[in-house]
Chains A and B, each alone.
Chain A
Amino acid sequence: MSITIEPTVKVEPRRKELPPRERLERIFHVEDLDALYSGKPAVKSVTMEIYRNLVTAIIGPSGCGKSTFIRCLNRMNDLVAGFSMTGTIRYHGQDICGADIDPVAVRRHIGMVFQRPNPFPKSIYDNVAWGLRVLGMKDSLDDRVERALMQAALWDEVKDRLKASALSLSGGQQQRLCIARAIAVEPDVVLMDEPASALDPIATSAIEQLMNDLKREYTFVIVTHNMQQAARVADMTAFFSISRGNEGQRFGQLVEYDATRKIFTAPSDSRTEDYVTGRFG
């Protein structure tokens, strides 16, 4: 008996067709990346390219290494004891895992927004201004703060209480503040690790909207376990899945990477199809 599967996720019809991949500017070129915790692989042999001024979503079930993967892109995993990786990650053609590379300099260009809002216990203003000051972007500080808060769609809500503690904001506001903080220092790429997983739908849609507005200036890579969200915001989508090795060990692998519309409407791998149609949770 054959079953036709209706996609449970509707892709926004208004989305423009992407230009052919050769014409897109490559910002990351990941080749044969293995990420290991204490020698155990979390993600294996990932090869993919990430393009400039697009939103790229990483989707997949829990434990498939989505977060591990994007935390490789700005060397954030260096902070994890026992982490190691092999393969290459080229960022604008430069291998960012080389021995002569300063991970601090890498993170300076590749910012990050985390799963849970993590504002500094400082004022709203200082949350954005502190990074600017430390990084020496002290000219017209007020303007920079205002611009970042505007871009993060938070300005109107906080302009009258910039001196108030950031911890007095709601969760959604805090997360937008974290986005403002990340984009204030003018990164090239913003990595988002499930930025809306702790937020309600209204706050989530505010964040999706601002990604859409800001992708002209930045490149976003977003990890999400929410397929609708990937379908709404992403131009390109990568599907990661859990594979089993010969000795039964589990690790994440990139299954399919394509334009979001293709992933959600005509995936070429049956595992992707199972996942996006909800047959596999």
Chain B
Amino acid sequence: MSAHGITRADLQAVNLPRRRLVNRLMQALATLAAAIAVAALVLIVWSVAKRGASALNLDLLTRDPAPFSFTPVKQGLENAFVGSLVLVGLATAMALPVGLLVAVYLTEYARPAIRSSVSLVLDVLNGVPAIVIGIFVYGLLVLGHGQSGWAGAFALACLMLPLVTRSTMEVLVLVPSSLREASLGLGIPRWRTTLSIVLPQTIGGVVTGTVLAVARIAGETAPLLFTSSIVGSQTSWSPTHALQSVPVAIFELSEQADPGSHARAWAAAFVLLLFILFTSLAGRWVATRNRRRLSTSR
């Protein structure tokens, strides 16, 4: 018995075996949940790889689809890969500058009330189903003008805009305000401070956000169905008419009867998956590197 009246029983664990059991059980459940998440990805990659491997060759990237014939012809999906490249490139060219400007406005200039309401709007836009964006752009650009690569790229840009803006805002708020003050205190105008001092600090984050957004929209099918899907089998780089894209091509091939088409669809899916995996990893790598640099500098 100590001076405070504490006995050993006060410090002893109550009902230890049961608590140990519950602890083990919960840990096992949590581990299982994590394993399921990883297994889902592994299963998807594995099944896509297994089914697509037979059709995965250079022809897939360098030849256009051929019309149906009873004898096997060498054919591929060059038109879809080129189309996706053009669509995603144009969408990035549209969404990136606008997203950057929106982010700069919201973090550097907007009043708090405006900032929070526009941020909310961006989050809602981010949550709008892709098919709705597709219908919107269909009504806006396709009706009366016909499908085009521009319309498809615009639809993808609508999906990309909130992603780019949000990720840019996240890094902009990390730039310490003392840096802004340092520049403004020298009598340097606000725009120059933003351009030369604040924005260079965010390049890593902007690149990451853009790369992740590219990875996301490269796999989007729904917005393109209405805007850039009625296509021939010729490779084209021009966005003035509808362009084939990888996700839409996969969708169309999967609806055909020919097993060769199915194999090509799986192969294209595998290439798309690899592209998304690698861009996401690259984006994350840039992000970590950049975060480390920012944290050592302050």
**A binding-site residues for B, Cβ under 8 Å:** 74, 76, 79, 81, 104-109, 111-114, 116, 118-121, 130-131, 134-135, 167, 178, 181-182, 185, 187
Residue of A nearest to B185 (CB): A112
Contact residue among A106, A121, A135 (Cβ-Cβ distance under 8 Å from B186): A135
> Given A79-B184, A118-B182, A130-B196, do A104 and B189 touch, yes or no (CB 8 Å)?
yes
CB distance B178 to A185 under 8 Å? no
B233 at the interface (CB under 8 A from A): no
16 A–B contacts from the bound complex (CB under 8 Å): A76-B185, A104-B189, A107-B185, A107-B186, A109-B187, A111-B185, A111-B186, A112-B181, A114-B181, A118-B181, A130-B196, A134-B192, A135-B187, A182-B185, A185-B186, A187-B187
Contact residue among A81, A108, A113, A185 (Cβ-Cβ distance under 8 Å from B111): A81
Q: How many A-B residue pairs have CB under 8 A?
A: 68
For A181, list chain B residues within 8 Å (CB).
Answer: 182, 186
Residue of A nearest to B182 (CB): A118
For B185, list chain A residues within 8 Å (CB).
Answer: 74, 76, 107, 111-114, 182
B5 at the interface (CB under 8 A from A): no
> Given A134-B192, A167-B297, do A116 and B187 touch, yes or no (CB 8 Å)?
no
Give the complex CA separation of A165 and B4 in angstroms. Answer: 58
CB distance A79 to B186 under 8 Å? no
CB distance B297 to A134 under 8 Å? no
CB distance A118 to B179 under 8 Å? yes
For A105, list chain B residues within 8 Å (CB).
Answer: 187
CB distance A135 to B188 under 8 Å? yes
CB distance A121 to B201 under 8 Å? yes
Give the complex CA separation of A217 and B201 in angstroms. Answer: 35
Most chain A CB within 10 A, of B180, B181, B186, B196, is at B186
B17 at the interface (CB under 8 A from A): no
For A111, list chain B residues within 8 Å (CB).
Answer: 185-187
Q: Which of B172-228 contact A (CB under 8 A)?
A: 176, 178-190, 192, 196-197, 201
Give the complex CA separation of A235 and B149 in angstroms. Answer: 72
B67 at the interface (CB under 8 A from A): no
For B184, list chain A residues within 8 Å (CB).
Answer: 76, 79, 104, 107
For B144, list chain A residues within 8 Å (CB).
Answer: none
For B297, list chain A residues within 8 Å (CB).
Answer: 121, 167
Residue of A nearest to B176 (CB): A118
CB distance B182 to A178 under 8 Å? yes
Interface size on B, residues (CB 8 A): 22
B127 at the interface (CB under 8 A from A): no
For A76, list chain B residues within 8 Å (CB).
Answer: 181, 184-185
Residue of A nearest to B181 (CB): A114
Residue of A nearest to B293 (CB): A121
Give the complex CA separation of A12 and B180 in angstroms. Answer: 37
CB distance A114 to B178 under 8 Å? yes
CB distance A185 to B187 under 8 Å? yes
Closest chain-A Cβ to B297's Cβ sits at a distance in Å of 5
Give the complex CA separation of A111 and B182 in angstroms. Answer: 10
B72 at the interface (CB under 8 A from A): no
Give the complex CA separation of A109 and B187 in angstroms. Answer: 7
Q: Which of B252-298 contact A (CB under 8 A)?
A: 296-297
> Shortest 4 CB-CB distances between A and B: which pairs?
A108-B187, A112-B185, A118-B178, A107-B187
CB distance B186 to A131 under 8 Å? yes
Contact residue among B181, B188, B201 (Cβ-Cβ distance under 8 Å from A131): B188
Closest chain-A Cβ to B272's Cβ sits at a distance in Å of 38
Residue of A nearest to B180 (CB): A79
Residue of B nearest to A190 (CB): B185
Give the complex CA separation of A119 and B190 in angstroms. Answer: 17
Residue of A nearest to B188 (CB): A134
Give the complex CA separation of A105 and B190 in angstroms. Answer: 12
> Given A114-B178, A134-B196, do A120 and B189 touch, yes or no (CB 8 Å)?
no
Closest chain-A Cβ to B157's Cβ sits at a distance in Å of 32
